[in-house]
Amino acid sequence: MTTQPAPAGTTYPGKTLGIIGLIVAFPFNLIGLIISIVALVQSKKAGYKNTPALIGIIVGAVLVVVGIVVAIILVSVFAGIFAACGDLGPGQHYVDGVTYTCS
């Protein structure tokens, strides 16, 4: 099955959903990724190309990966801070020019 561009002025299955998936992929990465995948599948079944859905999949996937990397970095940083406070005990401590306030 080959995909074909939609004729001007016509709608095809998944077109609106692809645009919505692309827009939603920015603030809600995983939801936008899923919506874009559904839209692309609908369009491919009908034999149409859906560029917004494809871009939504790319944007959603990249932002999900970036979010996971940021979460891993934040967890490791906070784990280090909590470990330092566990070793130092409660109070305010100055270690290597860094102030730790532990409670």
Share of the chain residues as helix, strand and coil, in percent rounded to the nearest 5: 65, 10, 25
Pair of tokens at residue 67? 């979010």
Mean pLDDT of 24-35: 96
- pLDDT-derived band at 12 (thresholds 50, 70, 90) equals confident
pLDDT of residue 40: 97
The answer to whether 33 touches 56, Cβ cutoff 8 Å, is: yes
Domains of the chain: which residue ranges? 15-102
Residues of the chain with pLDDT > 70, as a percent, come to: 90
pTM: 0.76
- pLDDT computed for residue 103 by the predictor: 83
Residue 15: band (very low, low, confident or very high) from pLDDT cuts 50, 70, 90: very high
